[in-house]
């Protein structure tokens, strides 16, 4: 039986694409294992699917000053050792990473054991975790042609065409009132709604996902009502 290790975590967006792969991977007869952090959201999401879950130590590489910047590198080193041990035990045929800092030790350990590793980058430009992992990957899949400019030639694979091929359907309430709009148009006219729907689609359709959506706030433009939460701008 073929064996695959899925990894990714830190946010639901780094986990739900892996969850979406589970039915097809099972159809293909893969023995599926997941490597994530000890207590991250990925653990809570994945364990619902009765997939063997392996926890490792995880740190975060920040672009701003924090005392944790002095301790997290040691957590990453520990995580690499743990991931290396897991990979040697499981002997997977392939590793698939959806990103997030917990995936970095897994990808690096995969290269050390010469396991083919695929990274999926869903943003226009790679995040910091994927930037670190990409040199150790076999292939990097991306959704946007513009992303190819930021990826090594020969590794990048353009997959899908979400903006043009994915549609949002809604009904006006009148007879024959079913309307459809592709996401390219929706992003141009109602970007806030498009982002809300995108996040909603990535979350599981259960009470946990519904609870998470109650905390989501999306604003179009720089003006917002969340100053009390001291949001930080993130450069991608």
Q: What is the pLDDT of residue 13?
A: 84
Distance of alpha carbon 228 from alpha carbon 205, whole angstroms: 30
The domain covering 163-225 belongs, at the CATH homologous superfamily level, to: Ribosomal protein L13 (3.90.1180.10)
Q: What is the pLDDT of residue 70?
A: 62
Looking at the predicted structure, is the pLDDT value of residue 30 above 90? yes
Q: What number does CATH give the domain 3-160? A: 3.40.50.2000
Looking at the predicted structure, is the pLDDT value of residue 235 above 80? no
Mean pLDDT of 83-102: 96
User: What is the SS3 assignment for the chain?
Assistant: CCEEEEECCCCHHHCHHHHHHHHHHHHCCCEEEEEEECCCHHHHHHHHHCCCEEEECCCCCCCCCCHHHHCHHHHHHHHHHHHHHHHHHHCCCEEEECCCCCHHHHHHHHHHCCCCEEEEECCCCCCHHHHHHHHHCCEEEECCHHHHHHCCCCCEEECCCHHHHCEEEEECCCCCCEEEEEHHHHHHHCHHHHHHHHHHHHCCCCHHHHHHHCCCCCCCCCCCCCHHHCCCCCCC
Q: Where are the domains of the chain?
A: 3-160, 163-225
Q: What is the pLDDT of residue 63?
A: 56
CB 110 within 8 A of CB 87: yes
Tokens found for residue 32? 């599926």
Mean pLDDT of 172-178: 78
State the chain's mean pLDDT as an integer: 85
Cα–Cα distances in angstroms (integers) from residue 134 to residues 107, 118, 130, 153, in the given order: 9, 9, 6, 12
- Beta-strand relationship, 94-97 and 117-121: parallel
Find the distance separating the first CA and the last CA of the chain, reported in whole Å. 39
Q: What is the pLDDT of residue 236?
A: 43
Confidence of residue 52 (pLDDT cuts 50, 70, 90): very high
Given strand 3-7, what is the order of strands in its sheet? 53-56, 31-37, 3-7, 94-97, 117-121, 139-142, 156-158
């Amino acid at each position: 039986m073929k064996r695959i290790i899925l990894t990714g975590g830190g946010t639901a967006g780094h986990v739900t694409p892996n969850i979406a792969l589970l039915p097809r991977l099972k159809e293909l007869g893969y023995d599926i294992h997941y490597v994530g952090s000890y207590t991250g959201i990925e653990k809570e999401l994945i364990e619902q699917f009765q997939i063997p879950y392996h926890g490792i130590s995880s740190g975060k590489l920040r672009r701003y000053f924090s005392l944790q910047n002095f301790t997290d590198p040691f957590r990453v080193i520990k995580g690499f050792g743990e991931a290396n041990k897991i990979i040697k035990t499981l002997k997977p045929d392939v590793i698939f990473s959806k990103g997030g800092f917990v995936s970095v030790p897994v990808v690096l350990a995969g290269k050390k054991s010469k396991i083919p590793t695929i990274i999926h980058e869903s943003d226009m430009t790679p995040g910091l975790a994927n930037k670190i992992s990409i040199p150790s990957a076999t292939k990097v899949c991306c959704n946007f042609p513009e992303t190819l400019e930021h990826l090594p030639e020969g590794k990048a694979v353009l997959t899908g065409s979400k903006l043009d091929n994915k549609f949002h359907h809604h009904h006006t309430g009148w007879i024959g009132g079913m309307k459809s709009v592709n996401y390219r148009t929706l992003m141009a006219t109602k970007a806030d709604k498009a982002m809300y729907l995108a996040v909603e689609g990535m979350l599981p359709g259960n009470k946990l996902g519904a609870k998470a959506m109650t905390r989501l706030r999306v604003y179009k433009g720089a003006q917002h009502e969340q100053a009390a939460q001291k949001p930080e701008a993130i450069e991608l």
